[in-house]
A and B are shown apart, each in its own frame.
Chain A
Amino acid sequence: MLTLCICRRVDIGHRMPLLETEAIVLRTYRLGEADKIASLFARQLGRLRAVARGALRPKSRYGGTLEPLSYVRLWIFERENRDLLHLNSAELLESFFDMQKDYHVQLAAQYLAEVAERMLPEREANERAFRLLLTVLRALKRSGEVNRPLLYFDYWMLRLGGFLPDLESCSACGRALGEEGGYYGPGSEGLLCRECRLPGAKQQVSGTALAMVRTACHVPLDRWLAQEKAPPGCREARGFFEEIIETQVERKLITREMMGEEV
């Protein structure tokens, strides 16, 4: 069910209306001695960056609300001709702090933040991407499993962004991929059949993995995770989607590389 949240404007002066929005903190940077810049994905405003004055001080009013991946309600204001917004206050709606107990899950969670930060355009609300990120974060926290939530996230991020390639046929000749699946390599935008395969396309995704993706990613993530264990092919399908994401954002994902080292 779609939950609609209204971005409320509260006037605190003649020129600076206070905006109220829900957001997920993607990452934070230190600014000066005690301030933070938070990179946020706001439900009603899209991706943005805001300054939180004094957020690093022990008695800061923000407390633990601005920790990466927290789901928060924010009150922010914008000054004319300034890129950065300013945080007025924040309220914690859901914390993912305890997810850090497992390094693999932490890596996975930060991968979500990195992909969201790279793929989502600034100041463009995207309700479906917001719900996707929140759903996957909750699934990671609850299950502690990495493979299926990340595959689900990759698939839907590509699909919502309009970058999901055809998973049934060769992107060059259009022939059905069948049991053998397809091949890809660095810079790929789709899968290639054996005949069209380029010298750099050394990785393979099997037909079984592609079929699994087509069915599994269309059921709610919770229902998929309720099945006992991850089906084979999750890792290889993830590898392909991660490659497509890197092609689209035109850079290597730091967290992908680190997850690769951990495997």
Chain B
Amino acid sequence: MKDYAEPLARLIDELKRLPGIGQKSAQRIAFHLERAPREDVERLAAAILDAKDKIRLCSVCNNLTELDPCEYCTDPRRDGEVICVVETPYNVIGVEKTREFRGQYHVLHGVLSPLQGIGPDQLKLKNLLERLRSGKVKEIIVATSPTVEGEATAVYLSKLIKPLGVKVSRIAMGVPVGSELEFADEVTMLKAIEGRREM
């Protein structure tokens, strides 16, 4: 005898394919949906399909957007001379939360990771180079994660971009705000010292 009726088992299987959802979470969500009013479930299904149908990549910066070009690329209040390069669309949200950055973005949709078969050809670099060749951009801020892959990507980008006469900077790395120095490892501490600033 099966554990669950076939439609419920299929729903659990589909939910399990989502990132961060295991068997237990999938079961919990499936049972919640089963108990929820029909309108709620329809609204969820419609939202998923709507997002899938309407969201696309911005042809300028590769961010996820409903309108092409996206609002960051078309907003006249944003500085088109500075571009912040990030790994994923949700990194854009992270930078935006600072409310300090008023430039534009470029989303790579990945970082160099040879073990996962991601090389320079797999990154979305073509339209970045087109933007740089237009001559309008003065500075690129590389905001990839402070990991081995993120650092390799940053170095690769700087070697690619500098010959075009554009300034390349890297976000600071080091000790997180609110933590204690005694817990910092040597790489973190070294990066913090390298990236020190005059006061």
Contact = CB atoms under 8 A, between A and B. Distances in A.
A70 B185 CA distance: 12
Interface of A is mostly: mixed
A92 B115 CA distance: 22
B183 interface: yes
Contact of A103 (B156, B176, B184): B156
A30 B134 CA distance: 38
Interface of B: 20, 112, 114-117, 119-121, 146-149, 151-152, 155-156, 159, 176, 178-179, 183-188, 191
Interface of A: 27, 32-33, 58-59, 61-65, 67-70, 91-92, 95, 97, 100-103, 106-107, 110-111, 113-114, 254-255, 257-258, 261
B155 A261 contact: no
A114 B152 contact: no
Contacts of B155: 100-103
Contacts of B121: 261
Given A58-B176, A111-B114, A100 B151 contact: yes
B24 to A, nearest CB: 12
Contacts of A255: 114-115
B152 A63 contact: no
Given A62-B185, A103-B112, 12 more contacts: A63-B183, A63-B184, A64-B146, A64-B188, A68-B115, A68-B148, A103-B152, A103-B155, A106-B114, A106-B148, A110-B114, A254-B116
A254 B112 CA distance: 13
Contact of B114 (A70, A101, A102, A107): A107
A108 to B, nearest CB: 9
A100 B146 CA distance: 11
Given A59-B178, A92-B185, A100 B148 contact: yes
Contacts of A97: 148, 151, 187
A64 B191 CA distance: 10
Contacts of B115: 27, 68, 110, 113-114, 254-255
Nearest to A100: B152
Most central of A92, A102, A106, A113 by chain B CB within 10 Å = A106
A92 B186 CA distance: 7
A69 B148 contact: yes
A67 B147 contact: yes
A59 B179 contact: yes
A67 B148 contact: yes
A103 B20 CA distance: 31
Given A59-B179, A102-B155, A106-B112, A65 B185 contact: yes
B162 to A, nearest CB: 14
A261 B183 CA distance: 41
Nearest to A105: B152
Nearest to A67: B148
A38 to B, nearest CB: 13
Nearest to B159: A103
A64 B187 contact: yes
A41 to B, nearest CB: 14
B176 A59 contact: yes
Nearest to B150: A100
A65 B147 CA distance: 10
